[in-house]
Amino acid sequence: MSNSEQLREKIRTATERREELARQLADPKVIGDPDSLRKVAREHAGLERIAEVGSELFKLDDELAQARELAEGADEELAELARSEIEELRGRIAGLETEARDLLVPSDPLDDRDAVIEIRAGTGGDEAGLFAGDLYRMYSRFADRRNWRVEVLSTSEGVLGGLKEIVFLVRGKNAYGTLRYESGVHRVQRVPETESQGRIHTSAATVAVLPEAEEVDVEINPEDLKIDVFRSSGPGGQSVNTTDSAVRITHEPTGLVVSCQDEKSQHKNKARAMKVLRSRLLDMKVAEQEAERARERRTQIGTGDRSAKIRTYNFPQSRVTDHRINLTVHRLQEILDGELDELVSELRMARREERLSA
């Protein structure tokens, strides 16, 4: 069987699977089980484009076969038209075959999850906190451009309007799959507002993008949790600062600690902290899997290494450089305004090429 025939067989298999999933979506047992319904619906949606490409590809195959018959006919004028059509059809078929191969690369089942993003000021003092705030605004504006929703889960404010730390949830189609390669150390080179002599300083902030975890993803034993409540600090209303509404959860087997104090309700803060804890635990599992893959083959991105410097934002040169794929663009202000599409697209393409070559 040729590569072309193998590709079409895979498309048929994927299309048959989509039809099977469509039947499951109408099954009362699946409809009555939210977890099963969500899982089936995700897989069904993921196969939709493959089915569309396959339908168009098979249609063009039929048209190509008909054109070849005409090209061998006795009518020379008609045969010439058919030969011209054959060339056009071959080009369209080649394009669809390329798209189909990309679509058939196994996708990460977590890609269509919502994303939990944590940004923390790193080296650089107050300037690092200001940069952390810039990164939060950048991702918020990117989300707005895609009609995604942003929900702040926890904040710790710095000075001069900066942020020591912020944790927020991005809800939208393929939010995690789109933003997952933003994890790592982001470095900024600019003259701080507090610098009187115009010297350029280098500061940094770390970004961690986690898949939002569902309860079925991570099993947490309540006995493994140490839960402390305390009085909130920082800006807020009277009830925020005078009641024990803040919550700190320690997962003792891993040492992970999550605090949340933004809500007036202790129960809401606990729920938010548990959401972040689940996502961190799921991210640890993902990072372990990525590390295993990295041992098997050298990868540029997607290893889960949070300590790696991934991007530099240079203000004097209006330059943004992603060090993993050696991409430099001179549109710094537009990128900080949320125009991340080029960077996101190039990173996802590089990751796809890695998976295709694996």
Tens of pLDDT along the chain (358 residues) come to 788 888 899 999 999 999 999 999 999 999 999 888 988 998 898 899 999 999 999 999 999 999 999 888 888 888 889 888 998 999 999 989 888 887 887 667 788 899 999 999 998 888 999 999 999 999 999 999 999 999 999 999 887 778 999 999 999 988 999 999 999 999 999 998 766 677 899 999 999 999 998 877 888 999 999 999 887 765 444 444 456 788 999 999 999 999 998 888 888 999 999 999 999 998 888 777 666 555 544 444 554 455 679 999 999 999 999 999 999 999 999 999 999 999 998 898 787 777 655 5
Residue 66 token pair: 């008909």
Give 274-318 pLDDT, tens digit per residue.
999 999 998 888 777 666 555 544 444 554 455 679 999 999 999
Tell me yes or no: is domain 3-104 CATH 1.10.3470: no
Report how far apart, in Å, the C-alpha atoms of 24 and of each of 19, 20, 27, 42, 46 are: 9, 6, 5, 12, 15
Residues 316, 332 contacting (CB under 8 angstroms): no
Residues 64, 78 contacting (CB under 8 angstroms): no
Residue 137 CA, distance from chain mean position = 17
Residues 134, 336 contacting (CB under 8 angstroms): yes
Residue 72 token pair: 């061998």
> For residues 20 and 30, what is the distance between their CA atoms, to the nearest angstrom?
13
Sequence spans of domains, the chain? 3-104, 115-217+286-357
Question: Domain 115-217+286-357 belongs to what topology?
Answer: Alpha-Beta Plaits (3.30.70)
Please report the pLDDT score of residue 239 as a whole number. 43
Paired with 227 in beta bridges are: 249
Please report the pLDDT score of residue 299 as a whole number. 47
> For residues 338 and 137, what is the distance between their CA atoms, to the nearest angstrom?
8
C-alpha angle 317-319-324 in degrees, rounded to nearest 5: 140
Closest by CA position to 315, among listed 161, 139, 141, 131: 131
